[in-house]
Copies of this chain bind each other. A is one copy, B any other.
Amino acid sequence: MSGSKQLKLGAFMRPVSIHTGAWRYPGALPDANFNFPALKRFIQKLEQGKFDAFFMADHLAVLNMPINALKRSHTVTSFEPFTLLSALASVTEHIGLVATASTTYDQPYHIARRFASLDHISGGRAGWNIVTTANPDAALNFGLEEQIEHDERYVRAREFYEVVTGLWDSFADDAFVRDVESGIYFDPEKIHVLNHQGKHLSVRGPLNIARPVQGWPVIVQAGASEAGRQLAAATAEVVFASAGNLEMGKAFYADIKGRVRSPSGGRFAPSLGRDPDSIKILPGALVVVGETVAEARAKRVHLDSLVHYESGIASLNSALGYDVSHFDPDGYLPEIPPTNAGKTSRERVIAMAQRENLTIRQLAQRIGSYGGLAFVGTPQSIADEMEQWLIEEGSDGFNIMFPFLPEGLNDFVDKVIPELQRRGIFRQEYEGKTLRENLGLTRPANRFFQTATTSVR
């Protein structure tokens, strides 16, 4: 199968796990969100497994949930992405480092500079997950009384991206001559002052750091709305999708690759059309590995059972658009009258309950922790599913979520990765030195200067 299409794999990390019950799982590290040495072991294991990237989400407020749910959640405290990924950069050599940063609550000069710095420190392994920050509570932490409206956040995001990439291009790749003899440090013809004046931003430049090793750090995006998809099609090189099953995955994949191929001229992010291979679509997927499918399922049931009912029921009610808390939690979901909840979300939840034979309590625990795409089975069955997604154009790989750490991560690297490698759909060795090279993405030209793209720095 060598020469066949290859999976790209990111690790979607929270120190303890993305699953809210995970800190209570046997063998888990409830203090991982304080424990840098644990994170260092995690990323080194991922690098041993040849993962493309370590991805760190980011939130600019404590998650907005009632205090009775919040007090049970390890999410209230976490490392900040730039400090964490930079610290991890110096203890790794190959793995990509993707940090989330918001275009709504930060300044392009800061963002451009930090990613450039991380890219220089890591030798070209930085990526930027562009988010517009949906949590309305974030606004209150940044001097606003209320959130900027959804679509306007994307208008700002598009402009923000232009400014950041423009600042990255402040210096030509070959600007720094460092001629000790003449005393010229850089060629003054090879510095560009951006002078951006736009609707949301006005930024003069130049940036006070050389062009990143990768030209630009890899651009990642995870929007799902029309505005979010337009931004992805115009700018992203990696898209973190949230696709509940293969059918949804294929539809999303076709939609995004289609937009990339023949631009829609959308109002949020007009684009010129690009090679569809220049964008990699990686849905998030929880992976639970067992010796048998039954063992893997039992692990997941155990994990979900560690979520407190109170923390789950509110999420379930909102997914159904109907209050089911007065029913017996240990009984099954009765017939529910039509409601205002998104029809798709409601039908998915009901189908999930039926398929896995879940009680109301179990369903609440599932929806209150993680109800999205999951591969639960043996290394073989998991590899089968991943291969199917790859072949049927459901994705170009996955953004893997581990149910509990370190066990879930170790299982993936020690058991699933070798199976993917055996099938020839995942690398045995890193292809290049930079994240861009490993993902098979080209190095962007500097928009202000023409130079051979090989002459870095």
Contact = CB atoms under 8 A, between A and B. Distances in A.
A188 interface: yes
Given A183-B308, A185-B74, A210-B77, A82 B114 contact: yes
Contacts of A73: 185
Interface in A118-144: 118, 120-121, 123, 137, 140-143
B86 A185 contact: no
A70 interface: yes
A186 B83 contact: no
A370 interface: no
Nearest to A210: B77
A178 B23 contact: yes
A244 interface: no
Interface stretch (A54-62, A247-255, A356-364, A393-401): A54-62
A281 interface: no
A109 B210 contact: no
Contacts of A162: none
A22 to B, nearest CB: 11
Interface in A24-43: 24, 30-31, 33-34, 36, 40
Nearest to A89: B87
A79 interface: yes
A257 interface: no
A109 B61 CA distance: 9
Interface in A162-182: 171, 176, 178, 180
B83 A118 contact: yes
Given A82-B83, A83-B82, A204-B141, A90 B36 contact: yes
A120 B34 contact: yes
B205 A80 contact: no
A87 B126 CA distance: 13
Contacts of A205: 141
Nearest to A120: B34
Contacts of A116: 80
Contacts of A7: none
Given A71-B185, A183-B308, A209-B78, A120 B36 contact: yes
Contact of A203 (B70, B141, B209): B141
A354 interface: no
A114 B209 contact: no
Nearest to A202: B143
A321 interface: no
Contacts of A74: 185
A256 interface: no
A443 interface: no
A433 to B, nearest CB: 14
A149 B137 CA distance: 31
A270 to B, nearest CB: 24
A107 B30 CA distance: 30
A34 B212 CA distance: 10
A5 interface: no
A452 interface: no
Contact of A178 (B31, B60, B107, B110): B31
A185 B143 contact: no
Contacts of A80: 113-114, 116-117, 209
Interface string A192-209: 000000000111111011
A212 to B, nearest CB: 11
* 8 tightest A-B CB contacts, nearest first: A86-B86, A80-B117, A140-B204, A83-B117, A83-B86, A71-B188, A87-B90, A77-B210
Given A24-B180, A31-B178, A88-B90, 11 more contacts: A31-B457, A33-B210, A36-B123, A71-B185, A71-B186, A76-B185, A77-B208, A80-B113, A80-B116, A80-B209, A86-B86
26 contacts: A30-B185, A31-B178, A40-B90, A59-B208, A62-B206, A67-B188, A67-B191, A71-B184, A71-B186, A72-B184, A73-B185, A74-B185, A77-B208, A79-B120, A79-B121, A79-B209, A80-B117, A82-B86, A83-B83, A83-B86, A83-B114, A87-B121, A91-B91, A109-B142, A141-B204, A143-B203
